[in-house]
Amino acid sequence: MHATTILMVRKNGRVIIGGDGQVSLGQTIVKGNARKVRRLAKGSVIGGFAGATADAFTLFERLEGKLEQYPGQLTRACVELTKDWRTDRYLRRLEAMMVVADKDVSLLLSGAGDVLEPEGGVMAIGSGGNYALAAARALEDQDLDAEAIVRKAMRIAAEICVYTNGNLVIESLDEK
């Protein structure tokens, strides 16, 4: 997926998802302050997307429906969403990836049917995702909180990836 970077870090009772604001069409930057990270399920779930914007909004709407159907069961809602994503003719064509988290679990969702929980509490998607992931893993054992790790790792990704900028949107949840 090009044109974005989304990073999720879970550390010391907090989960943070950060996303950059760049929207690119080919080689052109068309917007620098897009909001690719948002709250779902009345604020109890946070998520970020990489890929086609309309496709991501469709998936967020579908996930909202699954979360209403299975309240408090993020994993079950995500599994049901990815089942639909793989089998529904319309959804199968959607080009996006998502990371979502609640107070208990963090997951990556893809149209290939993946519902993956990260090892070590760090996960990233998008064109700058590998840069942000490497930076966050390097910062994990430092005396930094989850938000500081996300901010520093995203800054590093923005310095490396031409499809990532430094305009961050950050959402957080506390584990309680």
**For the chain, what is the largest distance between any 2 Cα atoms, rounded to a whole number of angstroms?**
47
Q: How far is CA 129 from CA 46, 63, 66, 109, in A?
A: 18, 22, 26, 14
* 119 CB neighbour count, 10 Å cutoff: 8
Q: Which helix (H) or strand (E) holds 110?
A: strand 106-110
**Distance from the first to the final alpha carbon of the chain:** 33
| Sign (positive or negative) of CA dihedral 166, 170, 175, 176 | positive
Tokens of 69: 């159907």
Q: Say whether 16 sits in a helix, a strand or coil.
A: strand
Examine the residue annotation and report whether 4 is marked as an active-site residue of this protein. yes
Q: Say whether 55 sits in a helix, a strand or coil.
A: helix
Q: Minimal CA–CA distance to 108: which of 121, 92, 91?
A: 121
Catalytic residues: 4
